[in-house]
Chain A
Amino acid sequence: MRIRPVSIRMETLTRPTFESADLPDWMATCREQELDDLDFGVIGFDLDGRVQRYNATESRLAGLATARVLGQMFFTSVAPCMNNFMVCQRFEDALRDGTPLDDTIDYVLTLRMRPVKVKLRLLARPGEGFRYVLVQRRI
């Protein structure tokens, strides 16, 4: 087990959680290392649908190296399980209508071929270049 440095308390104070309202602002400015330190999965994809950010937690959950995923089309080549009206369509509608999207839904991902209950937070803001799917395991 890794022993955490003393600064752990500071980190938990500043590090956002899955539910944090200001998460979109935080992610817009944070470094990749900070994204990797989050205990939930983060996938950021651009307006064309190509994955541009893929944090370590997500990489570990899915069993795929970040390098394998970056630049790939998110809904067709990375997460086809979300390519339906429950997830993909929501992003498309938000983009088309220019409306913000911030919604959390219960979903099941097939990580390493096992059904895994998760919460998905879907984030998109008009005028921003990246959209995000956040993944947290449900217990």
Chain B
Amino acid sequence: MHALDDIAAEHEALLQFLYLAPVGIVQTTPDGTIGMINPLSAQLLMPLATDGNLVNLFDALDPVAPELRAMVAGFTAASGAVCDGHRVQLTAGIPGREDPRFLSVSLVKLDAERFMAVLSDITLVMRREQQLKQSEAWFNAILTGVSDYALVTLDEVGRIERWNASIGRVTGLRRQEVERQPFSILSRPDETPAERIDDRLREADANGWSLEDGWYRRADETRFWGSTMIAPLHDPVAPGESAPPGGSERRYALIVRDITDKRDAAEDLRRAAVTDHLTGIANRRAFFDAAARELERWRRAPRPLSLLLIDADHFKNVNDRHGHPTGDAVLRAIATTLSGTAREIDVVARLGGEEFVVLLPSTDVAGAAAVAERIRAAIAAIAVESNGTLVRCTVSIGISTMGRDVTGLDALIERADEALYVAKAAGRNRVKVHGACMAPAVG
């Protein structure tokens, strides 16, 4: 009798433990039908459930995360993580009064019949991240000193409204070269597609600022490495609205700083955090940040977006035969070739080991294939010297391109990886596009 009482008491304690768990836990079938669910899940999901019922998890999340269903459908492995910490924005927030609310969703496939979801409210986490980014942007602007920045105002389509002395001081450009021109004239003309101007204005609307580093030009056609911040001057525009409240026009402030000078301590710190220590190009973290931003742009306004996944062929042999210092030199040579071939808006990064990635905005499959072929040929032509002998290395490249059927960054990379595998299987030192003639040549 006592044993039964003990079991009942333990059962009750376990139930209460689950009732009070500070994260949401839900078990569903593959189509999302809820089998088990704890109270915090109901707290988070009930305000979303339009029909007042919680029968299906994907239905409940559909208004805010319609991609979940596709992610589950596209997950073909027998078990494993479908997504981990996938961020979902629940509400837009009210500027100055209420923060936008965010939910983090992790989804694990247990087996063919069962999925487990973990939900947590990450509104506070996101707010702290935003504040950090904001202060980083500000320190970035202040620490360099006030002598080398230009401040101009932009109209609603990103045209510079008026020339002033600061823009003349930093760029040397004259009034007639600047006024009523899109701000992209400050960078090299081929480096800023028209849609990038709109992207940055929309980002400034959404986040309160848009920060980006890149090459900018002076009147004498020399260039400098600069950092630009765009901040809206108008009242906040609610998501889905096209104009600020009260019928006012959109206007923005644009700050351009010359940060070529590496003595800037804050800049060094920031650079160290986003740079691959061996090759000097962007690291994995910086790539995922930049790529997430690019995908966000794609979701807002779909346009061509392609990705190259690049892997050094037989790299282990290079290390084994010539030693790691030579292997490192080969990786650096590959990185140099990649950044030399890429445009300013492309994201070039080392993902790890001998694997590199290039994200190509505003580039379709054909364009991406041309870039990939240039990269392949350029790397095949270089040689690194090691103890008097010349070491050559080739790369294989897989290409994928963004489309409605691609659920996210992971899926885009996975497709490129599949194409890369085909390139490897077909004999290496070649380029393959995902989906196009993927079958390796026989014989």
Could you list which residues of chain A lie within 8 angstroms of chain B, going by C-beta atoms? Answer: 62-65, 68, 77-86, 105-110, 112-115, 117
Contact = CB atoms under 8 A, between A and B. Distances in A.
Nearest to B27: A113
Contacts of A109: 39, 42
B124 interface: no
B37 A114 contact: yes
B37 A86 contact: no
Interface string B41-82: 111101101001111000000000000000000000000000
A127 B147 CA distance: 65
A110 B42 contact: yes
Given A63-B15, A65-B12, A108 B43 contact: no
B225 interface: no
A63 B39 contact: no
A83 B35 CA distance: 22
B40 A80 contact: yes
Contacts of B35: 114
Given A65-B12, A108-B53, A113-B37, A80 B46 contact: no
A84 B49 CA distance: 13
A79 to B, nearest CB: 7
B110 to A, nearest CB: 16
Nearest to B52: A106
22 contacts: A62-B19, A64-B12, A65-B12, A68-B12, A79-B39, A80-B19, A80-B39, A80-B43, A84-B43, A86-B47, A106-B52, A108-B42, A108-B46, A108-B53, A109-B42, A110-B39, A113-B18, A113-B36, A113-B37, A114-B37, A115-B34, A115-B37
B265 interface: no
A78 B41 CA distance: 14
B16 interface: yes
A114 to B, nearest CB: 7
Interface residues of A, dominant DSSP: mixed
Contacts of B52: 105-108
A86 B39 CA distance: 14
Contacts of B407: none
B46 A86 contact: yes
A98 to B, nearest CB: 24
Size bin of chain B's contact surface: 20 to 34
Interface of B: 11-12, 15-16, 18-20, 34-44, 46-47, 49, 52-55
Given A79-B39, A115-B55, 19 more contacts: A62-B19, A63-B12, A64-B12, A64-B16, A77-B20, A80-B20, A80-B43, A81-B43, A82-B43, A83-B43, A84-B47, A107-B52, A108-B46, A109-B39, A110-B37, A110-B39, A113-B36, A113-B38, A115-B37
Contacts of B54: 108, 115
B42 A112 contact: no
Contacts of B20: 77, 80
Nearest to B15: A63
Contacts of A78: 19
A16 to B, nearest CB: 25
Q: Of residues A63, A65, A77, A85, which shows the largest number of chain B Cβ atoms within 10 Å of its Cβ?
A: A63
Contacts of A83: 43
A107 B47 CA distance: 10
Contacts of B43: 80-84
Nearest to A115: B54
Given A108-B53, A108-B54, A81 B39 contact: yes
A117 B53 contact: yes
A80 B37 CA distance: 13
Nearest to A65: B12
Contacts of B19: 62, 64, 78, 80, 110
A68 B16 contact: yes
Among B38, B39, B40, B52, the most chain A Cβ lie within 10 Å of the Cβ of B39
A115 B18 CA distance: 14
A41 B125 CA distance: 36
B202 to A, nearest CB: 29
B244 to A, nearest CB: 27
A81 B43 CA distance: 4
Contacts of A86: 46-47
A115 to B, nearest CB: 5
Contact of A81 (B11, B15, B42): B42
Nearest to B60: A108
A-B complex: 8 closest residue pairs judged by Cβ atoms: A81-B39, A81-B42, A106-B52, A108-B54, A113-B36, A115-B54, A80-B39, A110-B39
